[in-house]
Structure 1
Amino acid sequence: MGLRERLAGRRVFLTGVTGFVGEALLERLLSDFPDTRVVALVRPRGGQDGAARLRRQLRKPAFAALRASLGDGAVDQLAARVEVLAGDLASMPDLPSDIDLVIHCAGEVSFDPPIDEGFATNLGGLQELLRALRAGGASPHLVHVSTAYVAGLRSGHIAEGRLAHDVDWAAEQASAARARQTAEDASRAPEQSAAFLADAQAKHLRAGAQTVSRDAEDRRREWVRERLVRAGAERAQVLGWTDSYTFTKALGERYLEDEHGDLPLTIVRPSIIESALNRPFPGWIEGFKMAEPLILAYGRGEFPDFPASPDAVVDIIPVDLVVNAILAAAAATPPVETPAYYTVCSGFRNPLLFRELFEHVRAYFRAFPLPKRGRGDIAVPDWPFAGARAAEAKLRNGERAAAVAGRLLEHAPRSEKVRRWATEFDRFESRVGFLRRYSDIYRAYTKAELVYVDDATKALHDALSDADKELFGFDPACYDWTHYLEEVHFPAVTSILRKPRDPAPARRAGVNLAANPAALAVFDLDGTLVTSTVIESYLWLRLADEAPGGRARELAGLAAKLPSYLRAERTDRGHLIRSVYGRYAGADPEELARIIDEVAGDILLRRVKPAAIRRVRAHRDAGHRTVLLTGSVDFLVRPLAPLFDEVVASRLTVGADGRFTGKLAASPLVGDARAAFLDHFAGRVGADLSASWAYGDSQSDIPMLRAVGNPVAVNPDLALFRTAKANGWAVEEWPSTPGEPRAVAPSLRERGLFHAARTAAAQTRAAVTGVGGAR
C-alpha cells in the first residue's frame, strides 16, 4: 500500500501546527490525505481560542493552493477537518482514546533559552504528552521530531540510532528547575541589588525614583535571564553538546527511550531545515530560520568574515523533504521494543561545504544585489576565511569602537545632528551585537567536522512505491544546490527586502487631532515650548533691568554655582529648581512683575517656538483641555497663560516683609511627580489619559510621556530620543524662532533695543492672546 492507504482512517494528533514544520505537515495532510483525521493541539493566545488561531493559520500562504482548489468557503471546509484541542506543552487535556498516531513537532527551537525554560519545553513537554496519552487510554505510534544536532560536539561520521551517553535526564532536569530559584535568590542579594540600583540611577535619575526603581527591577530580571542562559550553555558544553537547545533535545530523546513503555517510538532527526523545494510552493518559508540571518547580513554588507571552517559540511534540508520523511516514518510503525531512528539530512548523499555555500551566496548577491536605500546597490565582501582568531579580533575591535562612540555621544550637546549621529550609532551597535550573538551561537555548527549518515532514512525512502517517491520523496540527492540556493531559497528569503517601499508621506504642519473633550494636551515648558532652561529664565529676570555693575556681580555669583547646577541638571532636576529659585530670596514680587511686563516677558514670548503655538491651537480646535506643566515659577510663565486652560507651575513663598523667601511653596513637579499629578488631575476633571497627549524634551519628562496614550518627544535629548524610538513614540523637531534673544545679553534698555524687543515680540503675543481668546 502507498502512504495514503497506510494512513487512511488513522486519527493523527499533531503538536506544533503553528510552527514551521508543523504548518507544512498540516498542509500536506489536508491536501493529500483526505481519509486521515487530524486532531491538533493549539494554544489560545492573544485573546483568540485555539479554533480561531487554527482558522487564522489556514488563511496563510502555505494553504493558498489548497484554498483555491476548494473554492468558496475553503477555510470553513478545512477547519471542519481538524479537531482542535486547546492547550500547550505545559498543560494538555487528556487525549482521546482512539488516537492512532502522534506526531510531536512542538518544542523550544531557540539555541540559547534559559536552562529551566529549555528543559520545561523540550523535556517537560514530552512528559506532559505521555501523561495526557495515558490518561486518555490511547496507545498510538509516537513520532518525535528532534534534531540531527543531538549528536553534540563530535566529529566524523554520525550514524542513526540511540545516542551514546550516560547523562541522567532526571538529575539534569531537577538541577535546571533549581537554577531558576538560585538565580532569583542571587539577584536579590544586597550587593547585587545595589549594583542594579546604581546602574539605574546613572541612567534614569533625572526621571525620578519610580523610573529608577522600574529600571533597576528590569535589570534584575535581565540579569537572571542571562545567568540562566549562560548556565544552559555552559552545562551543555561541559557534557558534550553545542548549546542548551541540543542538550535538552538529546535528554528529551533519552526520556522517551526510557519511558515510552508500550508505545511504538520513532525519532526523526532533521538537520538545518530551510525553505521548501516544491511544497506547498518553491521557496515557502516563514520567519528566519538558522541560515537566514547570516545570509541577509552578508547581503547587506555587514559580515566581513565568519569563524567557519571552509571545508566543513553545512547540512541543509528543505522543509518539504522533512515533512515527507515524517509521513513515511509515521506510516512505518516499528516494534515497541525497537525504536526507529531517521536522520533527514543532505550532508552524506549531497554534501554542501561551507566554502561552497559562501560561493553561492556571493554569486547570488553579486548578480542580484540588495538596494541601498535608494542610493545604488550594496557591495558584498569576499570572505578570507582567516580563521576564528582573526574573525574574533575584528569583532572585538568593533565592540571597542562602539563602546568609545557610545561614551562620546552621551556627553554630546543636544541637537538634531547629534540625534542623527545617535541613530547611525545605534545601527552600528546593533550590527556589532548581531555579529557577536550569531558568531557565538553558530561557531560550533559552522566549524563542526562531522557528517550525518542517513542509511536508515535512505532505506525508508527506497521502500516507497514509485508513485510515492514521485509525490512524497525525500532523497537529498534529488536537487542541485545551485538551483535550490540561487533560484529558490535566496530569492525567497530576500524578497521582503526587495519589495518597493511606499514613499514617505509629505510632512505637514501640525497633526490631525480627533475632537475629544475628554483629552488633555500637556506641554512642558523649557526646551519644549520655548528654547530656554531654568538658569536662562532666571537670568532674563535678574539681568534684563540691571545696570552693568549689577549684571557683572550676578554673573560672577552664578558662575561660581554653575558646576553644581550642571550636576543637578543631570541628576536631580528638583534640586536644580530649588537652588536656582533660591536666588530670588529678598526679591520684591511687584518689581519682578514689572520687569516681566516690560522686558523679560517679551524675551520669553520671542523664544516661544512657532510650531508650539500652532500645536496648542490645533489641540484647542479639537476641544482638548490644554495644560502647561512646568517647574518654572508662576510669575515667569504668566505671559503664556492665555495659551492654556490650566497652568501648573512652581510658586515661591512670600515672607512677612512682603518679599520672596527663596523657598518653594510645594515640591516642584518633575520626573515621576508629573505622572502622579496627571493621574490625579485626570480623575478630578474627568479626562481620559489614554486619549491624551503630552509633549516633552528631556529624560525627566519620560514618566509624564508614559502616562498618556499619545506621547511626543520634541527636540529630545539623547535619553528621551532613544526611549521614544524604542517605544514607537512620535519624535518632532520644532525649530527655534529666528533671531531670538540670547540668554545673557547687555541691558536691552542700555542698548536702546527695548522698543525693538517689544515690537519683535508683538506677533508672538498676538498669537498667544489669539489662542487664549479662542476659548
Structure 2
Amino acid sequence: MSSADSLPSLPDFYAGKGILLTGVTGFVGKVLLEKLLWEFCDPSGTSPMIYVLVRSSKEVSSEDRLADLLESPAFQRIRGRQECSVNALSYCLRAVDGDLERDHLGLPTYDELSGTVDVVLHCAALVDWAAPLHRSLQTNAIGSKRVAEFAKAADARLVCVSTAWVHGMVAGKCPEVMLKRSIDPEAELARCFSQLEEFQQTSVQKKSMFLQEASHRLGPGSDLKSLETLAEEMRKKWIDAQMAEWGVAHARECGWWDGYTFSKAIAEMLVQDIQDRTPFAIVRPSGVVSAASEPLPGWVDAYLLVEPLIEGVGRGEITQFPGRSGCVIDCVPVDYVCNVIIAAATMHGSDHGDGSPLVYQCASGDVCPNTLGEIESTWRQYFQSQPMHRDGKAVQVDPVRFVPSAEDFVRSLRLRYITPLWTCSQAVQLLPGWQHSNLLRSARSWLERKRRGVEKVTLLARLYSTYTLNEWSFETSRTRELMAAVAVPGSVPSNQGLPRPERFPYFAQGRPWDWTEFWTQKHIPGMRRWVLKESIPSRL
C-alpha cells in the first residue's frame, strides 16, 4: 500500500502477529511495550506475541530483567486491568535473551525466532550526545544493521527509530525522505575503529602517566594492585574521552553536529543497504520528552536532552547559556512517538513504488512551535511558584541570559573556572611533601574533580548549543496523514457517557496544543517525581 487511505485497523493488523521489540529497557521502549500490551493484548482475544530482546548478565537473566521492568510505574494501568507479571502475560509476552553487539543478535534460536516474527520494532539506541563515537556506532549503527539482517531473514516488516536531527548541519526545511549519501557508511565504521586502535596503542605508551596520577590520588603506601587497577580505569576513561572529542570533530567534518546524530545517519544507510528493495519504515523523532497522557501524564524516567537544563534552571545553576531566544526547540511527547511507531508498521509500500523506505518525522515545530525564550520563561515562572530547595531553603531562580556564541561561553568558563582550578592544582603539587598530607592530597583531588566537571560542562555546552543556536524545520505531513487515519475520534462515547480520548493521538494542524501547560503540569512535575525522586507537594 502506498497511502494511509487503505490503512488497516491497528487491532486487526496486530492480531496474531509475532513482534520483536528492541530497546524495551529504555525510555521509549518501556512506553512502546506498555502501549502494545494495553491496546492489543487480551487473554480472551487474538493477541500478538511480543518478543522483547533483553540482554542477560551473569547475575540477572533476561526473564528476571523483564520481570523487574514490569514493576515500573509505566505499567500501572496494566496492573489495574490484570496481573502484570511475566507468567500472567505469557500468552502475549516473552523475553528473548539477545545482544545487539553480538553477531546474530546473540540469539541461540535465531532461525527459530525468525520463523515466528512478522514485525520488528527497533528502538534500542545509545542516546548520549557526548558518548565516545565507537560506542555510539557499535550500538546505533552496527546494532541496527544486525536487526535489519534479522528482519530480512524473517521476511518481517521493519520499523527503525532514528532521530529527526539525522539531517545534520542542513538548515531550513528537512523533508520526510531518505538522506542523500555523502559518505560511505562501511568506510566510516572502519575509520572510527582504526582511530580507536590508535588511541588504545597510545594509552599503553602512557601507562607511566596513569600510574603516576593513580599514585597522586591514592597517596604513598598504596599497594601495587590498587595502583594498577586505578591506572587501568583511568586509561580506559582517557580512551573514551579521546574518542568522544575526536568523534565530535570527525562528525562535523562529515556534516553532522555530534557523534550521536552521525551514528544514526550511518545506521539509516546500513539498514537501507541490508533491506535493498524491501520496503521498511524509519521513524525520526525530534527531542523526546515525557508522556502527554500515556501511560501516565508526565511520565519520564530518564535524564534525556532537556532534563539537565531544566534541573540547572531550577537549582539556579544555569544563569547563562549559549542560545537565541527566538530559536524553536523542537520536542515531541514519548507517547506520540510510540503511536507513530505502531502505525508505521502497517505501511509496507513506497510512495515511489521502488521499494524505498517510508520516513515519518515526529516533530512539533511545523504545527505548534515553542521557542527557547518561551521555554525559559515558562520554566522560570514554574520554579518561582514551586521552587527546588537547597539546605532547606527555596532556590531563587533568576532569568537566564542567552549568549549568542558557544565559543564565547566556553571561553568564559575557561577564564573563570578551568584555568584557576588547574593553576591551584599545580600549586598544590609544588608544595614540599604534599603527597604525604591527607589534607593537601584531598584538596588536589577536589580541584581536579571540579576542573573535570567544568570541562564536561564545556563539552555539553558545545553539544547542546547546536540545538539552541541553530534551527531546523522538520516536515511532518506524511506522519500527520498517517496518524489522522488511525486515531479514534474523540466524539465516540465511553460507557460513562463522556467523550472517549483518541487511542493513538498525534499533533494535528489547527488542533490546540499548550506547551506551557505541558511543561508546568506534566513534564517538570513528572521529572521531579520519577527522575529526581523529589519529595514535593501531592499536586504533582
Shorter-chain TM band: 0.7 to 0.9
Q: Structure 1 residues 169, 291: CA separation in 2 closer, same or farther (over 3 Å shift)?
A: same
Residue 487 of structure 1: CA displacement? 1.0
Q: Structure 1 residues 205, 296: CA separation in 2 closer, same or farther (over 3 Å shift)?
A: closer
**Does the aligned pair in 2 maintain the 1:67–1:75 contact within 8 Å?**
no
Please name the residue that 2:307 is paired with: 292
2:515 maps to a residue whose letter is W
1:482 maps to a residue whose letter is T
Tell me which of 32, 35, 39 is aligned to 1:28. 35
Residue 463 of structure 1: CA displacement? 2.3
Alignment pair present for 1:78 and 2:55 = no
**Does the aligned pair in 1 maintain the 2:290–2:300 contact within 8 Å?**
yes
Tell me which of 147, 158, 162 is aligned to 1:129. 147
Please name the residue that 2:368 is paired with: 350
User: What pairs with 1:186-585 in structure 2 (closer than 5 Å)?
Assistant: 186-189=202-205, 192-204=206-218, 206-208=220-222, 210=224, 211-261=226-276, 263-335=278-350, 337-374=355-392, 376-388=393-405, 389-396=407-414, 397-406=416-425, 432-433=454-455, 435-464=457-486, 466-467=488-489, 470-475=502-507, 477-495=511-529, 496=532, 498-499=534-535
Please name the residue that 1:175 is paired with: 191
Separation (CA, whole Å) in 2 of partners of 1:174 and 1:493:
39
2:26 maps to a residue whose letter is G
Name which structure has the greater RCO, CA cutoff 8 Å, separation 6+: 2
CA-to-aligned-CA distance 1:647-684 (integer Å, 9 cap, x gap): xxxxxxxxxxxxxxxxxxxxxxxxxxxxxxxxxxxxxx
* Bigger Cα displacement from structure 2, 231-240 vs 175-184: 175-184
Separation (CA, whole Å) in 2 of partners of 1:444 and 1:153:
9
**Match of 1:14, SS?**
strand
**Match of 2:473, SS?**
strand
Tell me which of 138, 143, 154 is aligned to 2:154. 138
Residue 9 of structure 1: CA displacement? 2.0
Q: TM-score, normalised by structure 1?
A: 0.60
* Bigger Cα displacement from structure 2, 7-16 vs 214-223: 214-223
**Does the aligned pair in 1 maintain the 2:219–2:436 contact within 8 Å?**
no
Alignment pair present for 1:56 and 2:68 = yes
**Does the aligned pair in 1 maintain the 2:55–2:62 contact within 8 Å?**
yes
Q: Structure 1 residues 68, 420: CA separation in 2 closer, same or farther (over 3 Å shift)?
A: farther
Separation (CA, whole Å) in 2 of partners of 1:434 and 1:228:
14
**Does the aligned pair in 2 maintain the 1:159–1:452 contact within 8 Å?**
yes
Q: Structure 1 residues 414, 311: CA separation in 2 closer, same or farther (over 3 Å shift)?
A: farther
Please name the residue that 2:3 is paired with: none
Residue 409 of structure 1: CA displacement? 6.6
Q: Structure 1 residues 83, 219: CA separation in 2 closer, same or farther (over 3 Å shift)?
A: closer
Alignment pair present for 1:160 and 2:172 = no
CA-to-aligned-CA distance 1:379-398 (integer Å, 9 cap, x gap): 11212223225433432212
**Does the aligned pair in 1 maintain the 2:220–2:435 contact within 8 Å?**
no
Choose 1 or 2 for highest CA Rg: 1
**Does the aligned pair in 2 maintain the 1:307–1:392 contact within 8 Å?**
no
Separation (CA, whole Å) in 1 of partners of 2:159 and 2:173:
24
Please name the residue that 1:47 is paired with: 59
**Match of 1:226, SS?**
helix
Separation (CA, whole Å) in 1 of partners of 2:220 and 2:444:
20
Residue 193 of structure 1: CA displacement? 3.6
2:418 maps to a residue whose letter is E
Separation (CA, whole Å) in 1 of partners of 2:231 and 2:449:
25
Residue 149 of structure 1: CA displacement? 0.8
Q: Which blocks of at least 5 consecutive residues in structure 1 are unaligned?
A: 502-775
2:311 maps to a residue whose letter is L
Separation (CA, whole Å) in 2 of partners of 1:458 and 1:390:
40
Alignment pair present for 1:118 and 2:131 = no
2:135 maps to a residue whose letter is E
Residue 45 of structure 1: CA displacement? 2.9
Separation (CA, whole Å) in 2 of partners of 1:294 and 1:444:
14
The percent identity for this pair of structures is 29
Q: Structure 1 residues 417, 380: CA separation in 2 closer, same or farther (over 3 Å shift)?
A: farther
**Does the aligned pair in 1 maintain the 2:132–2:247 contact within 8 Å?**
yes
* Bigger Cα displacement from structure 2, 311-320 vs 178-187: 178-187
Separation (CA, whole Å) in 2 of partners of 1:17 and 1:215:
34
**Match of 1:111, SS?**
coil
* Bigger Cα displacement from structure 2, 85-94 vs 351-360: 85-94
Separation (CA, whole Å) in 1 of partners of 2:457 and 2:398:
15
Please name the residue that 2:44 is paired with: none
**Does the aligned pair in 1 maintain the 2:56–2:62 contact within 8 Å?**
yes
Tell me which of 49, 60, 77 is aligned to 1:65. 77
Residue 28 of structure 1: CA displacement? 0.5
Separation (CA, whole Å) in 2 of partners of 1:462 and 1:432:
47
Residue 215 of structure 1: CA displacement? 3.7
**Does the aligned pair in 1 maintain the 2:278–2:356 contact within 8 Å?**
no
Q: Structure 1 residues 338, 370: CA separation in 2 closer, same or farther (over 3 Å shift)?
A: same
**Does the aligned pair in 2 maintain the 1:305–1:383 contact within 8 Å?**
yes
* Bigger Cα displacement from structure 2, 473-482 vs 169-178: 473-482
1:344 maps to a residue whose letter is C
Separation (CA, whole Å) in 2 of partners of 1:214 and 1:413:
19
2:404 maps to a residue whose letter is G
Separation (CA, whole Å) in 1 of partners of 2:447 and 2:232:
27
1:40 maps to a residue whose letter is V
Residue 297 of structure 1: CA displacement? 1.2
Residue 6 of structure 1: CA displacement? 2.2
CA-to-aligned-CA distance 1:60-98 (integer Å, 9 cap, x gap): 110111112115x75531244212211110232213313
Please name the residue that 2:495 is paired with: none
1:170 maps to a residue whose letter is E
Q: What's the C-alpha RMSD, in Å, of the aligned pairs? A: 2.8
Q: Structure 1 residues 383, 7: CA separation in 2 closer, same or farther (over 3 Å shift)?
A: same
**Match of 1:166, SS?**
coil
Say how many residue pairs are matched.
Answer: 495
Residue 454 of structure 1: CA displacement? 0.9
Residue 203 of structure 1: CA displacement? 4.4
Residue 166 of structure 1: CA displacement? 2.1
**Does the aligned pair in 2 maintain the 1:187–1:220 contact within 8 Å?**
yes
**Does the aligned pair in 2 maintain the 1:303–1:435 contact within 8 Å?**
no
